[in-house]
Amino acid sequence: MEVTLRGNSVVATTTGILLLTRARQLGYPMRVHVIGDPEDVVSLPGPCVVYAPVLASCGVGREAGAGGTVIVPGAPGAPLLVSFTEHGVDGWFALDRTGVGTSEAAKAFVRMGQDARVPPRHLARHLRDFMSALGVAPEPVVLDILELVPADPTTRLSLALRVGRSISRRRGLPITSALTGSGPPTDDPIERPSDVSAVLRALEGGEWTWILDRLTPSVRDPVSDWLEAFVRVAHEDNGRDVALIAALAEVASHVVQLPASAIMPPLAAPEDAVAVGLGPALAAVGTADANRTLVDTFRFLGGRYVATGQPTLDLGGEPPPALQIERWAWACRESLRARELMQALWRDIVDPPQ
């Protein structure tokens, strides 16, 4: 049996790999050709981490990844592209790998820890101590996850805790152990304010006191003292680092409404896989190209690239976007479509219509 495929570089090559793999598993003699020049395939460089079982089964990112997690190394200073969505079809964002943070909250955290004055450094140190007590690595990437992931605040917190604990390899205290579980259930969670003066007014005017009131006394008092010290420093800095408080307050307003010692909502399998793989991905340095890996795997299985061929199955597909982060989402969508195409083609091969 001979099959000739035409399509964009990802869908045609991935479909060819899956067909050849299935044929080898069943001992079915098959030759698969892809029309095109392998030297002209679109580049898919790292660094990147995503849960994409189809790409992983084709050999992409398997050296550093595990299971369906794809980890592609990249240049040391390049931002890490991340998606917690299954198959990476959407939800992509970038994380800094140089230790300065990507989100405004993470940048504020780093600035405070490096400030020449004692009070900001003490504020940063107390926050690091709190993160360590939770078993979370006191790294800016944890705050990036807390602010940048396109998900609800409770899920963002669960992801941040999972990422921070996987990096530190510690468990720490449950974050809900600080909750009293008391108070009226009618308080609406706050929306993250963007205006500096609005945050300071809320802190000084007691608008967020209800959040503190739902913490146990052993936690409420030091948090209250920390906020008072933060407000004093913020007035000196004209609100330079208020984004940190805004991000923490938004998440806290959701968490404090949980019952005392409640269990945080469990993460879906793709979210957990990427959270665990994010630590190794931050340190993955190299010059890998996911599309080049697909080409190499296809050739290893016996596939060939040809200039033309008959009969030809046109798989179509979207053209690759220009931006790298959009190109990764495109590649993940096309690989998922390739799996569906392979299953349909295989039915036609083993049981062709009469």
265-311: pLDDT as tens digits: 889 999 999 999 999 999 999 999 999 999 999 999 999 999 887 77
pLDDT tens sequence across 52-102 = 999 999 999 877 667 899 999 999 889 999 999 999 999 999 999 999 999
149-to-64, 95, 214, 275, 344 alpha-carbon distances in Å? 23, 10, 26, 11, 35
Give the span between the Cα atoms of 11 and 318, in whole angstroms.
9
Rg of the chain in Å (alpha carbons) = 25
pLDDT value of position 346: 85
pLDDT value of position 183: 63
pLDDT value of position 192: 75
Residues of the chain under the 50 pLDDT cut: none
pLDDT value of position 26: 85
Whether the full predicted model's pTM is greater than 0.85, yes or no, is yes
Looking only at the bridges linking them, the beta strands covering 92-95 and 80-83 are antiparallel
pLDDT value of position 285: 92
